C-alpha cells in the first residue's frame, strides 16, 4: 500500500471517528445552549440509553418497539431530571447546576447496573462494520460501511437540530433561556417546559450515540467514557454551537489519528487521547470561545 | 428472679457458643469489583471463589471443621479503594485476613509492602509482578499458576507450533497491541528477548486507556502486515480491538490474546468479529467438571450461589474464581496439616501453606478439577508453581480448546525473574531469603 493512500485512509478514518465524537458532543451542546450548564451526565445517559435498548431486545422485544420504549424512557428521564434536579435550582449559580449533573451521573450509572446488570452486551444494527469490498479491491482503501452510516446519521441529526434551534419558536425560546433565565421567565417563556424539552432531546441524542457506539464497543459501562472523547471537541468547537460540534469532531478525529500514526511511534505511542486536548488548547489560544462559540462581551 | 437468671444463663451460653463458633472460622476477604467498567471480571472471579467456599461449607462443613467466611468489599478496580478494602478487612475474623486476592496488578503493587508488614500473603493468580515469582525476595507475594512472562513464552511457543516449528518464526512479524498501563507494558521486555532469540520482528503498539477507540492502532497493523497479533487488553479494549481488526480485514484467527482478553465478556460484545479469535487460559470454562457439579448441587440448588445471572456459571471468569478458591482452600489445608488441624490459621501460617502447596494430578482428581486447571507445585524459590497454558478459540458461541497444556520457557523467564527480583531487592534493601533453610 502506498504511503499516500495510507495517509488518506488514516485521514478518512479520523474524520469518520470525529463524527462519532461529534454525536456525543451534540448532547452536551443541547443542554448547554438551553441552560448554560455543562451536563456531566451525558456519558451516563449514553450508557443508560444503550443498555436499556439492548436489554429489552435481548428479552425478545421487537427492535422498533424496544427503540420506541427506550426513547420514551429517555424522555421520561429528561422530564424527571427537570422536576427533581433542575427545577429546585432555578436562578442558582451555574456551578450548582453543574454539581447536580455530577450527582446525576453517579445515580444513572448505579441505576443502570442495578436494573440491567453489569454484563457487557453485543449490539448489531444490521450494518456490518467491515470494509466496503469495492473500495478495498479498487483502491486498496478500507472504509467501513458502518462508519459511513454513522456519518450520515450524525449529519442528519445536525441538520434537524440546526433547524429546530434556529427556525422554530421552541428553538428560539431555548436560546433565550440559555442567555438569561430570569429575563426569559419575565417575557413569559415557560422555563420548566423548555428544560424538560431540551433534556428529552438530549436523551434522544444520547440514545442515537449509545446505539452507534454500542455497535462499535459493545454495550458496557465503558460507554460512559465516550464523554471524554467529546470534551476536546466541545472546547474546540464551542459549547453552544451545533455546527461547532461537528466541525470540532472532524478536526479532533483527524488530528488525533494522524498524530497517533505519524508521531506516536517516535514517542512510545498511545498519544491520541491527550493529543486531542493539545489541539483543543492550541485553538483556545487564538479563539477562547471556541471555533463557533459566541463571543461574550461584558460591559461594566 | 429465677426466670431472669435462667434467661441470663441462656443468653450467656448462646453468646459463648457463638464466640466458639466464630473462633473456628477462617476469614478470607472478598475484595473484588461488582460495579464499573471491569465488573464482569470482578463479579465472575469473586463469584467463583465464594461459590467454592460455600460448597466446601455445605458439603464438608468447611476445612477439617473450620468454616470459611468472607466479606465483600468493593474495590472498583481502583488502587486507593483496593488499599482501603485491605485495611478494612485485615483484622477481621478470629485470626485476621488469611490471604488477599487483589485481582488487579495495580492493587497488588500497592499492597506488596503492607502485606510483608502485616504478614498477610497476596495471591496474584495470573497477574501482578512477574518477578515476584522469586520467593526469596517476595516472601508474601504469589503470582500462582503462571505469571505474565511465562504465559508470553507459551504464547510464542503456540505461534511457533502453528507456524510448523520455532525455527519457522525467523523473519516473521508479530505486533503486540497492549493496554498503555503497567499491566500492558509488563510483557514488553520478555517479548523483546524472545524476538532476539527466535529472529522474529516485534512491534509494540500502545492503546490509551480505556481502549474504546483503536482505529489508528489497527491501521498501523494494516500497514505493518504482521503474521500474528498479540492482544494484551482489558475490559472494553478487547471487543473494540476485535471489531477494529475486522474493520481493517485482519484475520481474527491470527490474534492471540492474554487470559484477561479471553473471557466470554470480551468476545460477545464483538459479535461475529470475534469468531476465530484465540486466547490463552490457565483455567477452562464449563460446568461438567465434578467440582462444578458439586457447586451446582450443594450451592445453587439451595439458592445460595453468588452469581445472579445463572448463565454465567461455568464461564471463564467464574471457573477462574473457582480455581482461586481451590488454590486458597488447599493452601489452608496444607497449613492446617502443619500447624494444627481443625484450627483457623494466621496469615503467616497461610504463607507457609501456599509456599508448600502441591496440587498434583492425583489431588486434582480428588478435587474434581482435572482439566479445569493444571497441576501446581509451589516452593520458596518458585512462587509461580505451574507455568503451563492452554489455548482456546471462540467459535461465535463458545470457547473450544485447541491445544494441550503448553509449558512456559523457563530458560528465558527464570533468569529475567531473578535479575529483576535482585534489582528490586537492591533498591529496597532486602536481603533475599536462603531457601535451603526454609522448612
Q: Do A222 and B268 touch (CB under 8 A)?
A: no
Q: Where residue B16 falls among pLDDT bands split at 50, 70, 90? A: very low
What is the predicted pLDDT for the residue at B35? 87
Q: Residues of B numbered 142-181 whose beta carbons fall under 8 angstroms of chain A's beta carbons: which are they?
A: 180
Q: Do A272 and B268 touch (CB under 8 A)?
A: no
Residue B425 lies in a domain: no
pLDDT (mean) for B341-368: 97
Distances (CA, A) of B232 to B152, B211, B257, B320, B394: 10, 11, 6, 18, 17
What is the predicted pLDDT for the residue at A297? 64
Find, in chain A, the residue whose alpha carbon is nearest to that of B37. A221
Taking all residues of chain B, what is their mean pLDDT, rounded to a whole number? Answer: 92
**Contacts with B37 from chain A: Cβ below 8 Å:** 220-222, 224-225
B310 close contact with A: CB closer than 8 A: no
Nearest to A130 among B34, B43, B247 (CB): B247
Q: Do B219 and A6 touch (CB under 8 A)?
A: yes
Distances (CA, A) of A134 to A16, A19, A137, A227, B215: 19, 23, 5, 34, 20
CA A240 to CA A178: how far, in whole Å?
Answer: 9
Instruction: Kindly tell me if the per-residue pLDDT of B141 is higher than 70.
Output: yes
B308 close contact with A: CB closer than 8 A: yes
Distances (CA, A) of B309 to A24, A25, B300, B313: 31, 35, 11, 8
Find, in chain A, the residue whose alpha carbon is nearest to that of B184. A270
Nearest to A261 among B219, B246, B273 (CB): B219
Instruction: Kindly tell me if the per-residue pLDDT of B414 is higher than 60.
Output: yes
CA B194 to CA A15: how far, in whole Å?
Answer: 38
pLDDT (mean) for A64-89: 91
What is the predicted pLDDT for the residue at A296? 64
What is the predicted pLDDT for the residue at B17? 46
Find out whether B87 and B106 touch, Cβ atoms under 8 Å: no
**Contacts with B243 from chain A: Cβ below 8 Å:** 129, 216-217
Work out the percent of chain B whose per-residue pLDDT is above 70: 95
Distances (CA, A) of B307 to A23, A113, A130, B299, B311: 36, 15, 35, 11, 9
> In this predicted structure, which of A30-39, A60-69, B149-158 has the lowest mean pLDDT?
A30-39
Do both B81 and B98 map to the same domain? yes
B309 close contact with A: CB closer than 8 A: yes
Find, in chain B, the residue whose alpha carbon is nearest to that of A125. B271
Domain count within chain B: 2
How many other CB atoms sit within 10 Å of the CB of residue A34? 26
Do both B353 and B214 map to the same domain? no
Residue B386 lies in a domain: no
In which domain, by residue range, is B270 found? Answer: 149-281+391-410
In this predicted model, what pLDDT tens digit does every residue of B60-89 receive, in sequence order? Answer: 999 999 999 999 999 999 999 999 999 999
What is the predicted pLDDT for the residue at A287? 84
Q: Do B216 and A123 touch (CB under 8 A)?
A: no
CA A100 to CA A98: how far, in whole Å?
Answer: 5
What is the predicted pLDDT for the residue at A79? 87
d(CA B239, nearest CA chain A) in Å: 6
Q: Where residue B15 falls among pLDDT bands split at 50, 70, 90? A: very low
**Contacts with B78 from chain A: Cβ below 8 Å:** none
pLDDT (mean) for B45-53: 98
Residue B438 lies in a domain: no
Q: What element of type H or E holds B351?
A: helix B347-355
Residue B72 lies in a domain: yes
> In this predicted structure, which of A93-102, A138-147, B260-269 has the lowest mean pLDDT?
A138-147
What is the predicted pLDDT for the residue at B407? 93
Do both B273 and B395 map to the same domain? yes
Nearest to B265 among A17, A119, A257 (CB): A119
What is the predicted pLDDT for the residue at B4? 47
Distances (CA, A) of B212 to B86, B112, B384: 31, 31, 33
In this predicted model, what pLDDT tens digit does every residue of A201-236 receive, in sequence order? Answer: 889 999 999 999 999 888 999 889 888 888 999 988
**CB pairs < 8 Å spanning A and B:** 131
pLDDT (mean) for B166-174: 97
What is the predicted pLDDT for the residue at A197? 86
Residue B436 lies in a domain: no
Find out whether B331 and B350 touch, Cβ atoms under 8 Å: yes
Q: Is the model more confident about A1 or about B378?
A: B378
B215 close contact with A: CB closer than 8 A: yes
Instruction: Kindly tell me if the per-residue pLDDT of A6 is higher than 90.
Output: no
Do both B141 and B241 map to the same domain? no
Nearest to B268 among A122, A264, A272 (CB): A122
B240 close contact with A: CB closer than 8 A: yes
Q: Do B216 and A257 touch (CB under 8 A)?
A: yes
Do both B6 and B133 map to the same domain? yes
Look up the pTM and report it.
0.87
Residue of A147, A270, A274 for testing the chain B interface, max B β-carbons within 10 Å: A270
**Contacts with B205 from chain A: Cβ below 8 Å:** 269
Report the CATH number at residue B365.
3.40.50.2300
**Contacts with A272 from chain B: Cβ below 8 Å:** 208, 213, 216
d(CA A192, nearest CA chain B) in Å: 33
Q: Where residue B137 falls among pLDDT bands split at 50, 70, 90? A: very high
pLDDT (mean) for B151-163: 96
Q: Where residue B53 falls among pLDDT bands split at 50, 70, 90? A: very high
Do both B79 and B182 map to the same domain? no
Bond into B210 cis (ω within 30): yes
DSSP string, chain A: --HHHHHHHHHHHHHHHHHHHHHHHHHHHHHHHHHS---TTHHHHHHHHHHHHHHHHHTT--HHHHHHHHHHHHHHHHHHIIIIIIGGGTTS-HHHHHHHHHHHHHHHHHHHHHHH-S--B----SS--SB-HHHHHHH----BHHHHHHHHHHHHHHHHHHHHHHHSHHHHHHHHHHH-HHHHHHTT--HHHHHHHHHHHHHHHHHHHHHHHHHHH-BSGGGGGHHHHHHHHHHHH-TT-HHHHHHHHHHHHHHHHHHHHHTGGGTTS--HHHHHHHHHHHHHHH-TT-SSPPPP----
B224 close contact with A: CB closer than 8 A: no
Q: Do A218 and B270 touch (CB under 8 A)?
A: yes
In this predicted model, what pLDDT tens digit does every residue of A105-124 receive, in sequence order? Answer: 999 999 998 999 888 999 98
Residue of A119, A249, A255, A264 for testing the chain B interface, max B β-carbons within 10 Å: A119
Nearest to A221 among B39, B205, B215 (CB): B39
Instruction: Kindly tell me if the per-residue pLDDT of B384 is higher than 80.
Output: yes
**Contacts with B312 from chain A: Cβ below 8 Å:** 119
Q: Where residue A299 falls among pLDDT bands split at 50, 70, 90? A: low
Residue B427 lies in a domain: no
Instruction: Kindly tell me if the per-residue pLDDT of B1 is higher than 70.
Output: no
B407 close contact with A: CB closer than 8 A: no
Find, in chain B, the residue whose alpha carbon is nearest to that of A5. B223
Q: Do A13 and B223 touch (CB under 8 A)?
A: no
Do both B335 and B355 map to the same domain? yes
Q: Do B268 and A120 touch (CB under 8 A)?
A: yes
Q: Where residue B14 falls among pLDDT bands split at 50, 70, 90? A: very low
B367: Cβ contacts below 8 Å, ≥ 6 apart = B291, B326, B330, B359
What is the predicted pLDDT for the residue at B22? 61
CA A189-A194-A198 angle, 5° bins: 155
Do both B313 and B249 map to the same domain? no
Domain final position from B377, B400, B419 = B377
Say whether B377 sits in a helix, a strand or coil.
Answer: strand
Nearest to A221 among B37, B180, B268 (CB): B37
Do both B142 and B104 map to the same domain? yes
What is the predicted pLDDT for the residue at B254? 98
**Contacts with A7 from chain B: Cβ below 8 Å:** none
Q: Where residue A9 falls among pLDDT bands split at 50, 70, 90? A: confident
pLDDT (mean) for A50-62: 95
Do both B43 and B131 map to the same domain? yes
Burial category of B117 from C-beta neighbours within 10 Å (exposed 0-12, middle 13-18, buried 19 and up): exposed
Instruction: Kindly tell me if the per-residue pLDDT of A175 is higher than 50.
Output: yes
Do both B110 and B69 map to the same domain? yes
Do both B170 and B254 map to the same domain? yes
DSSP state of B358: E
Amino acid at each position: 500500500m502506498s504511503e499516500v493512500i495510507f495517509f488518506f485512509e488514516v485521514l478518512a478514518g479520523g474524520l469518520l471517528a470525529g463524527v462519532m465524537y461529534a454525536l456525543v458532543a451534540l448532547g452536551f451542546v443541547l443542554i448547554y445552549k438551553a441552560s448554560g450548564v455543562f451536563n456531566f451526565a451525558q456519558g451516563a445517559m449514553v450508557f443508560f440509553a444503550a443498555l436499556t435498548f439492548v436489554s429489552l431486545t435481548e428479552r425478545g422485544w421487537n427492535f422498533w418497539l424496544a427503540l420506541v420504549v427506550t426513547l420514551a424512557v429517555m424522555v421520561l428521564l429528561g422530564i424527571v431530571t427537570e422536576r427533581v434536579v433542575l427545577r429546585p435550582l432555578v436562578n442558582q449559580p451555574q456551578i450548582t447546576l453543574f454539581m447536580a449533573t455530577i450527582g446525576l451521573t453517579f445515580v444513572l450509572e448505579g441505576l443502570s447496573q442495578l436494573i440491567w446488570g453489569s454484563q457487557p452486551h453485543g449490539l448489531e444494527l444490521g450494518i456490518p462494520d467491515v470494509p466496503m469490498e469495492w473500495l478495498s479491491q479498487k483502491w486498496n482503501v478500507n472504509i467501513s460501511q458502518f462508519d459511513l452510516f454513522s456519518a450520515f446519521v450524525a449529519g442528519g441529526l445536525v441538520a434537524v437540530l440546526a433547524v429546530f434551534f434556529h427556525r422554530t419558536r421552541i428553538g428560539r425560546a431555548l436560546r433565550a433561556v440559555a442567555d438569561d433565565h430570569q429575563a426569559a421567565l419575565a417575557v413569559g417563556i415557560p422555563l420548566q417546559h423548555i428544560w424538560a424539552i431540551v433534556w428529552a432531546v438530549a436523551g434522544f441524542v444520547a440514545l442515537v450515540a449509545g446505539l452507534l457506539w454500542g455497535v462499535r464497543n459493545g454495550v458496557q459501562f465503558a460507554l460512559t467514557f465516550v464523554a471524554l472523547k467529546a470534551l476536546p471537541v466541545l472546547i474546540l468547537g464551542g459549547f453552544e454551537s451545533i455546527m461547532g460540534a461537528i466541525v470540532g469532531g472532524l478536526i479532533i478525529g483527524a488530528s488525533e489519528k494522524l498524530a497517533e500514526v505519524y508521531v506516536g511511534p517516535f514517542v512510545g505511542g498511545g498519544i491520541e487521547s491527550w493529543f486531542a486536548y493539545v489541539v483543543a488548547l492550541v485553538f483556545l489560544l487564538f479563539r477562547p470561545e471556541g471555533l463557533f462559540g459566541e463571543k461574550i462581551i461584558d460591559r461594566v | 428472679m429465677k426466670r431472669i437468671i435462667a434467661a441470663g444463663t441462656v443468653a450467656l451460653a448462646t453468646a459463648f457458643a457463638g464466640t466458639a463458633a466464630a473462633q473456628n472460622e477462617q476469614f478470607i476477604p472478598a475484595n473484588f469489583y461488582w460495579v464499573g467498567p471491569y465488573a464482569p471480571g470482578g463479579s465472575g472471579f469473586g463469584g467463583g471463589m465464594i461459590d467454592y467456599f460455600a460448597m466446601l461449607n455445605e458439603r464438608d462443613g468447611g476445612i477439617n471443621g473450620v468454616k470459611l467466611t468472607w466479606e465483600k468489599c468493593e474495590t472498583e478496580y481502583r488502587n486507593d479503594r483496593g488499599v482501603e478494602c485491605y485495611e478494612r478487612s485485615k483484622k477481621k475474623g478470629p485470626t485476621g485476613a488469611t490471604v488477599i486476592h487483589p485481582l488487579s496488578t495495580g492493587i497488588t503493587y500497592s499492597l506488596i509492602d503492607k502485606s510483608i508488614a502485616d504478614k498477610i500473603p497476596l495471591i496474584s493468580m495470573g497477574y501482578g509482578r512477574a518477578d515476584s515469582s522469586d520467593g526469596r525476595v517476595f516472601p508474601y507475594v504469589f503470582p500462582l499458576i503462571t505469571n505474565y512472562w511465562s504465559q508470553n513464552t507459551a504464547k510464542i511457543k503456540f505461534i511457533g507450533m502453528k507456524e510448523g516449528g520455532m525455527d519457522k518464526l525467523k523473519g516473521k512479524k508479530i505486533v503486540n497491541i497492549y493496554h498503555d498501563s503497567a499491566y500492558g507494558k509488563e510483557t514488553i521486555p520478555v517479548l523483546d528477548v524472545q524476538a532476539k532469540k527466535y529472529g522474529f520482528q516485534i512491534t509494540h503498539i500502545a492503546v490509551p486507556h480505556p481502549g474504546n477507540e483503536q482505529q489508528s492502532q489497527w491501521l498501523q497493523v494494516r500497514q505493518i502486515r504482521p503474521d500474528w497479533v498479540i492482544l494484551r487488553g482489558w475490559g472494553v479494549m478487547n471487543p473494540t480491538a476485535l471489531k477494529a481488526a475486522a474493520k481493517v480485514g485482519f484475520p481474527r484467527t491470527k490474534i492471540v490474546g492474554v487470559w484477561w482478553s479471553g473471557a466470554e465478556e470480551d468476545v460477545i460484545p464483538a459479535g461475529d468479529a470475534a469468531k476465530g479469535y484465540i486466547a490463552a487460559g490457565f483455567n477452562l470454562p464449563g460446568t461438567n467438571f465434578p467440582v462444578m457439579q458439586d457447586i451446582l448441587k450443594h450451592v445453587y440448588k439451595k439458592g445460595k450461589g453468588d452469581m445472579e445471572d445463572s448463565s454465567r456459571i461455568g464461564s471463564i471468569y467464574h471457573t477462574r474464581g473457582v480455581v482461586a478458591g481451590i488454590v486458597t482452600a488447599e493452601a489452608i489445608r496444607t497449613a492446617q496439616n502443619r500447624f494444627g488441624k481443625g484450627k483457623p490459621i494466621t496469615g503467616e501460617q497461610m504463607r507457609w501453606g501456599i509456599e508448600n502447596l502441591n496440587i498434583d494430578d492425583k489431588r486434582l482428581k480428588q478435587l474434581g478439577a482435572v482439566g479445569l486447571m493444571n497441576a501446581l507445585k509451589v516452593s520458596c524459590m518458585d512462587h509461580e508453581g505451574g507455568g503451563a497454558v492452554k489455548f482456546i478459540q471462540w467459535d461465535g458461541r463458545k470457547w473450544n480448546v485447541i491445544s494441550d497444556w503448553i509449558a512456559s520457557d523457563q530458560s528465558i523467564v527464570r533468569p529475567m525473574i531473578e535479575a529483576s527480583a535482585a534489582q528490586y531487592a537492591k533498591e529496597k534493601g532486602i536481603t533475599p531469603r536462603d531457601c535451603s533453610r526454609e522448612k
